[in-house]
Amino acid sequence: MKIDPAVPILRVFDEEKSKAFYVGYLGFNVDWEHRFEPGLPLYLQVTRGGCVLHLTEHHGDCCPGAAIRIAVEDIDALHGELQSKRYPNLRPRIENTPWGTRDLSVIDPFGNRLTFTSDTST
Protein backbone atom coordinates (compact mmCIF):
# COMPACT_ATOMS: atom_id res chain seq x y z
CA MET A 1 0.00 0.00 0.00
CA LYS A 2 1.38 3.39 -0.99
CA ILE A 3 0.86 6.38 1.30
CA ASP A 4 1.64 9.81 -0.15
CA PRO A 5 3.21 12.66 1.83
CA ALA A 6 0.89 14.60 4.12
CA VAL A 7 -0.24 18.08 3.10
CA PRO A 8 -0.08 20.40 6.12
CA ILE A 9 -2.85 22.96 6.56
CA LEU A 10 -1.67 26.18 8.21
CA ARG A 11 -3.95 28.84 9.65
CA VAL A 12 -3.38 32.36 8.31
CA PHE A 13 -5.32 35.57 8.91
CA ASP A 14 -4.40 37.99 6.15
CA GLU A 15 -4.10 37.30 2.42
CA GLU A 16 -1.56 40.07 1.76
CA LYS A 17 0.73 39.04 4.63
CA SER A 18 0.38 35.36 3.72
CA LYS A 19 1.45 35.92 0.13
CA ALA A 20 4.24 38.31 1.13
CA PHE A 21 5.68 35.64 3.44
CA TYR A 22 5.07 32.39 1.57
CA VAL A 23 5.46 33.66 -2.01
CA GLY A 24 7.62 36.77 -1.68
CA TYR A 25 9.96 35.59 1.07
CA LEU A 26 9.96 31.77 0.99
CA GLY A 27 9.61 31.48 -2.80
CA PHE A 28 6.49 29.31 -2.97
CA ASN A 29 4.10 29.54 -5.93
CA VAL A 30 0.33 29.90 -5.61
CA ASP A 31 -1.26 26.92 -7.40
CA TRP A 32 -4.87 27.79 -6.74
CA GLU A 33 -7.13 29.88 -4.51
CA HIS A 34 -10.70 29.23 -3.36
CA ARG A 35 -13.41 31.31 -1.73
CA PHE A 36 -17.02 30.18 -1.49
CA GLU A 37 -17.98 33.72 -2.50
CA PRO A 38 -16.38 37.20 -2.49
CA GLY A 39 -15.58 38.45 1.00
CA LEU A 40 -15.41 34.99 2.57
CA PRO A 41 -12.19 33.42 3.91
CA LEU A 42 -9.47 32.33 1.52
CA TYR A 43 -8.15 28.78 1.13
CA LEU A 44 -5.13 28.28 -1.12
CA GLN A 45 -2.40 25.87 -2.09
CA VAL A 46 1.24 26.90 -2.38
CA THR A 47 4.12 24.75 -3.59
CA ARG A 48 7.85 24.90 -3.89
CA GLY A 49 9.57 21.89 -5.39
CA GLY A 50 7.90 18.85 -3.86
CA CYS A 51 6.59 20.74 -0.81
CA VAL A 52 2.83 21.36 -0.82
CA LEU A 53 1.14 23.54 1.81
CA HIS A 54 -2.47 24.57 2.25
CA LEU A 55 -3.10 27.97 3.83
CA THR A 56 -6.51 28.75 5.26
CA GLU A 57 -8.28 31.75 6.71
CA HIS A 58 -11.20 29.52 7.77
CA HIS A 59 -11.62 29.49 11.56
CA GLY A 60 -12.59 25.82 11.87
CA ASP A 61 -9.90 24.30 9.64
CA CYS A 62 -7.04 24.35 12.15
CA CYS A 63 -5.37 26.38 14.88
CA PRO A 64 -2.53 28.88 14.44
CA GLY A 65 0.85 28.02 15.90
CA ALA A 66 1.55 24.78 14.01
CA ALA A 67 5.08 23.42 13.61
CA ILE A 68 6.16 21.51 10.51
CA ARG A 69 9.46 20.10 9.23
CA ILE A 70 10.37 20.32 5.55
CA ALA A 71 13.32 18.36 4.13
CA VAL A 72 15.60 20.34 1.81
CA GLU A 73 18.56 19.18 -0.22
CA ASP A 74 20.74 22.31 0.06
CA ILE A 75 20.03 24.15 3.28
CA ASP A 76 22.97 26.50 2.73
CA ALA A 77 21.49 27.70 -0.58
CA LEU A 78 18.09 28.24 1.06
CA HIS A 79 19.72 30.15 3.90
CA GLY A 80 21.58 32.39 1.46
CA GLU A 81 18.40 33.03 -0.49
CA LEU A 82 16.44 34.01 2.62
CA GLN A 83 19.26 36.19 3.97
CA SER A 84 19.36 38.11 0.68
CA LYS A 85 15.66 38.98 0.95
CA ARG A 86 15.94 40.79 4.30
CA TYR A 87 12.45 39.96 5.62
CA PRO A 88 11.50 42.36 8.46
CA ASN A 89 12.07 41.03 11.99
CA LEU A 90 13.37 37.67 10.81
CA ARG A 91 17.01 36.63 10.41
CA PRO A 92 17.03 32.83 10.38
CA ARG A 93 20.19 30.87 11.03
CA ILE A 94 21.21 27.28 10.52
CA GLU A 95 21.49 25.18 13.67
CA ASN A 96 23.26 21.83 13.99
CA THR A 97 21.15 19.41 16.01
CA PRO A 98 22.38 16.59 18.27
CA TRP A 99 20.37 14.10 16.16
CA GLY A 100 22.30 14.82 12.96
CA THR A 101 20.37 17.45 11.05
CA ARG A 102 21.00 21.04 10.10
CA ASP A 103 17.83 23.05 10.71
CA LEU A 104 16.69 26.49 9.64
CA SER A 105 13.47 27.68 11.32
CA VAL A 106 11.22 30.56 10.35
CA ILE A 107 7.98 31.73 11.96
CA ASP A 108 5.27 33.11 9.71
CA PRO A 109 3.27 36.25 10.65
CA PHE A 110 0.59 34.00 12.22
CA GLY A 111 2.79 31.99 14.60
CA ASN A 112 3.33 28.88 12.45
CA ARG A 113 6.91 27.54 12.60
CA LEU A 114 8.43 26.02 9.48
CA THR A 115 11.70 24.18 10.06
CA PHE A 116 13.65 23.40 6.92
CA THR A 117 15.96 20.47 7.62
CA SER A 118 18.86 18.73 5.93
CA ASP A 119 20.33 15.39 7.04
CA THR A 120 24.06 15.67 7.74
CA SER A 121 24.68 11.91 7.39
CA THR A 122 24.30 11.97 3.59
How many other CB atoms are found less than 10 A from the CB of residue 22?
A: 23
Q: Is the pLDDT of residue 122 over 70?
A: no
How many other CB atoms are found less than 10 A from the CB of residue 106?
A: 17
Global pTM value: 0.93
Q: Indicate whether 44 belongs to any domain.
A: yes
3-state class (DSSP) for residue 8: coil
Closest CA to 8 of 40, 49, 50, 51: 51
Q: Indicate whether 1 belongs to any domain.
A: no
Structural domain for 37, as ranges: 9-119
Q: How far apart are CA 18 and CA 42, in angstroms?
A: 11
Q: How far apart are CA 9 and CA 6, in angstroms?
A: 9
- pLDDT tens digits, residue range 2-49? 999 999 999 999 999 999 999 999 999 999 999 999 999 999 999 999
Number of domain units in the chain = 1
Give the mean model confidence (pLDDT) for residues 78-93: 92
Give the mean model confidence (pLDDT) for residues 89-112: 95
- Which CATH number does the domain housing residue 61 bear? 3.10.180.10
3-state class (DSSP) for residue 54: strand
pLDDT value of residue 87: 86
Q: How far apart are CA 94 and CA 101, in angstroms?
A: 10
